[in-house]
Amino acid sequence: MMRRPSVLIALCASLVFAAVAQAEPLPQRWVSAGGALSEWIAALGGEARLVGVDTTSQHPESLKALPSIGYQRQLSAEGILSLRPDVLVGTEEMGPPPVLAQVRQAGVRVELFSSKAELTAVDENLKHLGTLLGAEQRASTLASDYRQRIQALQAAIGQAKTHQQAPGVLLLVGHGGGKPMIAGQGTAGDWLVQQAGGRNLAEHDGYKNVSVESLAGLDPEVLVVSDRALTGDAAVQAMLKENPGLSASRAARDGRIVVVDPTLLVGGLGPRLPEVLQSLARAFYPQGNVSFKP
């Protein structure tokens, strides 16, 4: 049976459209406003295309040599456009909206990704990035491996919980040891604590400053410290010095204090997260064999 002319015309038009879409050049000059996205771009082999990043893009170390466009929530159109990008990528945290509108009006492609702390968001973000970079297979492999490691760690934590009660944890975000904010319910910090098998003692929503008395009264078994100015032991010592009430906590007495990079608390889930969760879980369950590795 012969196809009707209208069907043949529609079929040809569809094939032509697909060919044009396939031939559309991939963006070569990228600006990234999000640490997790920048890390994923590097993991997918696209680091050479980055011409600028925001201040949360600290990993890999080589990204620090790139021009900075400022903090992801406080961008300027001039700074971005001066880098002549083909595409600006960021999460829904990126802004302010008028700046994004200016960037679009200047002909720059703006691609938005999810900052949700969910494995489905990682899958979607990697698929989106893989398409933009022409690295679909690599993106699929990374997403699958990421999910397997997280799930294996969750199984190990579940096993550890059969021998030990989930410890009470506080995650403190400070700057040079100054009065910290506590990560409450619904925050990325809360998600980290819970995914690593801890029990967040903070009952408020969001990040909040609390009194020294309240901080001491919570008496956490484990402290997780994230400082925007200091790292390692310097961050811990500054936090204890500036907040003496913490020194009397069970966490300080037992030396159960863990430091995490503050860039992990913004912009969604990045490639380093499984290792960070494993490190936290081992601090929460020191007697257990908590690992995402067989």
Let me know if residue 103 belongs to a domain: yes
- Res 79: pLDDT: 97
Let me know if residue 132 belongs to a domain: no
- Res 277: pLDDT: 96
Give the CATH number of the domain where residue 206 resides. Answer: 3.40.50.1980
Let me know if residue 227 belongs to a domain: yes
Confirm whether pTM is higher than 0.75: yes
pLDDT digit string (tens) for 173-208? Answer: 999 988 899 999 999 999 999 999 999 999 999 999
pLDDT digit string (tens) for 58-103? Answer: 999 999 999 999 999 999 999 999 999 999 999 999 999 999 999 9
Let me know if residue 53 belongs to a domain: yes
- Residue ranges, the chain, pLDDT below 50: 1-3, 7, 10, 13-22
Number of domains in the chain: 2
- Res 152: pLDDT: 94
Domain match, 92 and 174 both: no
Domain that holds residue 248: 165-284
Domain match, 102 and 187 both: no
Domain match, 184 and 247 both: yes
Helix-helix angle 273-284:188-195, to 10 degrees: 60
- Res 294: pLDDT: 57
